[in-house]
A and B are shown apart, each in its own frame.
Chain A
């Protein structure tokens, strides 16, 4: 390598702008969704695009704007509903699904729900399709509950779940604590009512899969052929997108029915909260490159040995199985400590970076890297081994990591699930980017 760049902050700052054009999102570090307590949702049919170049017919939930009364396109997954502990929530559901899709309903595992309107169903009250021209109380169904516990939850269809959940009728429900926990700092963020659930940034990992044969049968109205005994998913999603669409911004116009990305970014030393939900029917062992995580909560409850004890039964690992229907909250951090070399490429007289592991300050890089023509540079290699570094890139390299961030793949370790309908790479791949402390994220 001709030159191993140390950090060049001015250039970094300039290049960050270009970088953000590709990957940057407006609200880094907060989960986007519908914040409030009254939600009007409409079940509709639409299509999503997948990274193998295909498209898949889906049933999704569209949000009705409470001010204008207008309803947008449905989305996969359904809108992330962000509510507050103790504040009553009402969700109104209408059903504009076509053909023989049938009634629709929603269930909220972990909440005590009252349902009004619609018709009696197997699991809850259901709403009739609008093309059947229902009137009066049959037009819509209202689900009401008051969330008593903060945490991460799933909601999904409660009608013909085998088909309707596969078709995309599910979403995340996030309940925020009503107050700052005892001993906490009101300026900081907490997932639960305990100071040990503090975090700096949060990211949603809503996992799902599709068997395209089912969707094709729905599209072709082959209702009598739909057979879940031969269910065999071949495409996998985080927050409704495949890799590499996962990296694009939230709400990009070319993914109109897949508004949510999955692009965690952070600075060294920060605490990241990962809200993890299994919405499909397979188990996905999710592996986090870069460092261990701690599982602090499962199914919306802190892993506590006693009330008020905090997450004292939290467990540390590198891989966690995402279980169908289960949620988990993980806390992840990274500082690059004890690596045995200085990740910033400092000279000993340079000042310390925030959260830098001081004993390694100024320690030289331990090996000779091969010459450029001996190796293949990945698209997210900056050309330098150092955090915030840069180096000469070969012709044709996209330069997608101009800020010299450290990229860590967070992915399913059932590696088959890193494909989209037979095409590698795709499926359940995401990247955490640890950025140099000087690189702005928010």
Chain B
């Protein structure tokens, strides 16, 4: 399992590409499984069944200072016929991966097709999906490659999840996790509670089934914190030994972008002209609304700490996809001005904008070294919060 990547030059890359493409023609095994899909559009006619199709592969991103970085990640294959997934979605990885949102009680059939890494066909790595925090998981759908099968290049694996526990989660590939997660195989995922649609405390949307409206919100935004170590990505792109021991993220990001790209409403185009970074992180609300931030950190090297300039505290109502309540129901929510998020942690944070004057504010990391895009200052983990007048 140890990997030793030495420099053999482009010759070997081309050779292995050839070796890779040959068996692909015969062994490609893409099966998009979607029970209840009677017309073949990839959408189940059963409203309780959600079918999603993603790819695992590679691509490029553009950092906020203009640097192009090679990534591994998941691409969006929803609605793409099985026989077109590999052809259409090679080099179409997105950062972060396509967002998955479910309603409590829905069943998810998530097909992940490994389209291979076109830039690094020498790796022939499998990919998996790990739903981080899924309660009572079984290894077959946990995405850990050690106790389960993981899809080889040119093949798909359909994961099944009975989404009975609401909350903020995220997902990532777990194959050679230090490498594949550093390379960008991360995405947002949350499950909305059964309580949604009922009116409690003036809200109809909630982070959890709180029964008292304490996790109610008007607008919600994912705040997926991560970072890239550009040296690691460049080493991978140029077929060099990977610097695990030296790994240190210097491109901190929210939803796959550093400031000011975080407030750009458009896709960020990569060097091939593909919009690989599709999630803007401008937070907008009307004065008096409650904002829910779905916060997670999937950095392989850093914890991140953040605050806002709104002048109102952050109310932490959820942690680790669970409402902050003790075993007997005691309210254990926290009111903080600064929240530290370790790798693998997720939090639900409510910002009550009552009394906040309309204007533009910031959400920013308080470990100030992470306000950077590589060498460039005033970037990294920062975005704007626009409070519009009523």
Cross-interface CB contact of B327 among A312, A337, A375, A379, cutoff 8 Å: A312
Q: Which residues of A contact B137 (CB under 8 A)?
A: 289-291, 339, 408
Q: Which residues of B contact A412 (CB under 8 A)?
A: 343
A196 to B2, CA, bound (A): 44
Cross-interface CB contact of B245 among A234, A287, A339, cutoff 8 Å: A234
Q: Is B179 an interface residue (CB 8 A)?
A: yes
Are A313 and B138 neighbours in the complex by a CB distance under 8 Å? no
Q: Which residues of A contact B303 (CB under 8 A)?
A: 283, 285, 321, 414
A194 to B343, CA, bound (A): 32
Chain B nearest Cβ from A262, distance in angstroms: 15
Within 8 A of A (CB), among B21-52: 27, 29, 31, 33
- Which secondary structure dominates chain A's binding surface? loop
Given contacts A315-B319, A318-B320, A374-B29, whether A416 and B247 have CB atoms under 8 Å apart is: yes
Chain B nearest Cβ from A273, distance in angstroms: 16
Are A314 and B244 neighbours in the complex by a CB distance under 8 Å? no
| Complex interface bits, B303-334 against A, C-beta within 8 A gives 1, otherwise 0 | 10000000000000001111010111010100
Chain B nearest Cβ from A303, distance in angstroms: 8
Are A317 and B245 neighbours in the complex by a CB distance under 8 Å? no
| Complex interface bits, A314-325 against B, C-beta within 8 A gives 1, otherwise 0 | 111111010000
Are A374 and B155 neighbours in the complex by a CB distance under 8 Å? yes
Are A292 and B31 neighbours in the complex by a CB distance under 8 Å? no
Q: Is B178 an interface residue (CB 8 A)?
A: yes
Q: Is B147 an interface residue (CB 8 A)?
A: yes
Are A289 and B158 neighbours in the complex by a CB distance under 8 Å? no
| Complex interface bits, A321-359 against B, C-beta within 8 A gives 1, otherwise 0 | 100000000000011111111010000000000000000
Are B29 and A311 neighbours in the complex by a CB distance under 8 Å? no
Within 8 A of B (CB), among A405-420: 406-409, 412-416, 418-419
B interface residues, how many (CB within 8 angstroms): 72
Q: Which of A40-48, A173-181, A361-369 contacts B (4 or more CB under 8 A)?
A: A361-369
Q: Is B145 an interface residue (CB 8 A)?
A: yes
Given contacts A317-B319, A319-B344, A367-B33, whether A378 and B147 have CB atoms under 8 Å apart is: yes
Closest to B177 in A: A415
Are A424 and B179 neighbours in the complex by a CB distance under 8 Å? yes
Are B320 and A292 neighbours in the complex by a CB distance under 8 Å? yes
Chain A nearest Cβ from B333, distance in angstroms: 11
Are A408 and B321 neighbours in the complex by a CB distance under 8 Å? no
Within 8 A of A (CB), among B348-382: none
Q: Which residues of B contact A437 (CB under 8 A)?
A: none
A292 to B327, CA, bound (A): 13
Q: Which residues of B contact A337 (CB under 8 A)?
A: 136
Are B162 and A406 neighbours in the complex by a CB distance under 8 Å? no
A155 to B344, CA, bound (A): 28
Cross-interface CB contact of A321 among B31, B135, B299, B342, cutoff 8 Å: B342
A336 to B135, CA, bound (A): 8
Chain A nearest Cβ from B329, distance in angstroms: 9
Given contacts A285-B345, A375-B126, whether A367 and B158 have CB atoms under 8 Å apart is: yes
Residues of B bordering A, CB below 8 Å: 1-3, 27, 29, 31, 33, 107, 109, 126, 130, 132-133, 135-140, 142, 144-152, 154-160, 162, 164-165, 174, 176-179, 181-182, 243-247, 298-303, 319-322, 324, 326-328, 330, 332, 342-346
Residues of A bordering B, CB below 8 Å: 196, 234, 283, 285, 287, 289-292, 294, 305, 311-319, 321, 334-341, 343, 366-371, 373-381, 385, 387, 401, 406-409, 412-416, 418-419, 421-425, 431
Excluding A317-B320, A319-B343, A406-B138, 8 further A-B contacts by CB distance (< 8 Å) are A289-B144, A312-B328, A319-B344, A373-B27, A378-B144, A409-B174, A415-B182, A418-B177
